[in-house]
Amino acid sequence: MTGWRRLAAISAIAVVVIAAVVVAITVGLGPKGRPAGHSSPEPALPRTPLAIPAPATGAYFGAWVDPTMYGQHGHIGAVRALQQQIGRRLDIVHIYLRQDAAFPTSSDLAFMRQGSTLLVSWALNDSRGIAAGEWDASIRQRAREMKALGKPVFLEWRWEMDRPNIRSVVGSPADYIAAWKHIRMIFAQQHATNVAWVWCPTARGFASGRAQAYYPGNDEVDWVCADAYPRPGTQASFADVVHPFLAWAARHPEPIMIGEYGVPQSYDAKHRAQWLHDAEQTVVRDRQIKALVYFDSNITGPSPLTSYGLDAGPLAALRAIADNRYFNPRNVPVNRN
């Protein structure tokens, strides 16, 4: 065989081999280049500067305030009334955002105008559907809405995900983590860089070992958080309730938020006040805790076991926390308008 014919034959064989390799790689891939029947993980997102950095000293102070009257004016009035009672503006106003609710509302905007930062607990309760892309349009809309605020906002997607009674919508820890990463990816695509990502299970979930499994990872979370309530029928202190969570969080670099905490009306007035003083002392001692947000509400009507609304004794104790300079890193005055 002459030299040029030998070269031509080798080239032809190479083409056939390359074509076979391409076919072999292509077979089994889905329409977007993913292996058929398998979902690839979300791409890792680069770390960006914190939308809401922790204060250098002290801790932010906030609350969810249950309105006594239905509607936006009722919510504004309830927050203003609490601010009058404690003598200052809240650093953080906690709100809850249902899956299909409008955002922002007139009350949300009013809280931002007075200088408070929103903590948004967002209930989009379908982890598997989220990870599969079924909610992408809704997630993009939420990302655009939060970006349009033009100010930093704390965001808790599906807080207390470790509660057994919502396992049917949260799914497994792997389902939840996949959904968390998918939501973050969409927010990044929409350039909603004003959002601080808050991961917030229950404090008691760390004692049982359930909560830790849902952690998306240090690169996925800006603030670690827990909701802290004594178990109904017990007399546990705030320090006892949060201890397992704080021990876990100490091994992670993120600042800590207590996203909800409350002392039930089943405790006597003296014990309720002492419980809140214990919360104050616990936070001041643990310098990783950078935000403390009270839950001023009754979950199931008049039941004292799940009623955390403030009356004279606890209100005085909460005001003592509000008066502590440690919980006023911004030196914010009360808005009396």
pLDDT surpassing 80 at residue 62 = yes
Q: Which two tokens stand for residue 254?
A: 């993120």
Q: Which two tokens stand for residue 208?
A: 């049982």
Report how far residue 274's alpha carbon sits from residue 282's, in angstroms, rounded to the nearest whole number. 12
In contact, 196 and 157? CB cutoff 8 Å = no
Residue 45: per-residue pLDDT = 73
Lowest average pLDDT, out of 39-53, 88-102, 266-280, goes to: 39-53
Percent of the chain residues past pLDDT 70, beyond the cut: 83
Q: Convert the pLDDT of each residue in 254-269 to its tens digit.
A: 999 999 999 999 999 9
Over range 272-292, report the average pLDDT.
97
pLDDT surpassing 60 at residue 10 = no
Four-point Cα dihedral 62, 68, 71, 72, nearest 10: -30
**Nearest Cα residue to 273 out of 224, 231, 244, 238:** 238
Predicted confidence band at 238 (pLDDT cuts at 50, 70, 90)?
very high
Predicted confidence band at 34 (pLDDT cuts at 50, 70, 90)?
very low
Residue 131: per-residue pLDDT = 98
28 or 150, which is more confident? Answer: 150
**Nearest Cα residue to 120 out of 104, 133, 134, 100:** 104
Residue 332: per-residue pLDDT = 53
Predicted confidence band at 300 (pLDDT cuts at 50, 70, 90)?
low
Q: Convert the pLDDT of each residue in 93-134 to its tens digit.
A: 999 999 889 999 999 999 999 999 999 999 999 999 999 999
Over range 215-228, report the average pLDDT.
98
pTM here? Answer: 0.85
The sign of the dihedral angle between the CA atoms of 146, 149, 154, 160 is negative
Predicted confidence band at 233 (pLDDT cuts at 50, 70, 90)?
confident
Residue 2: per-residue pLDDT = 41
| Count of positions (residues) in the chain | 337
pLDDT surpassing 90 at residue 31 = no
Q: How many angstroms separate the Cα of 328 from the Cα of each of 59, 91, 155, 294?
A: 7, 8, 22, 15
Q: Which two tokens stand for residue 247?
A: 């021990």
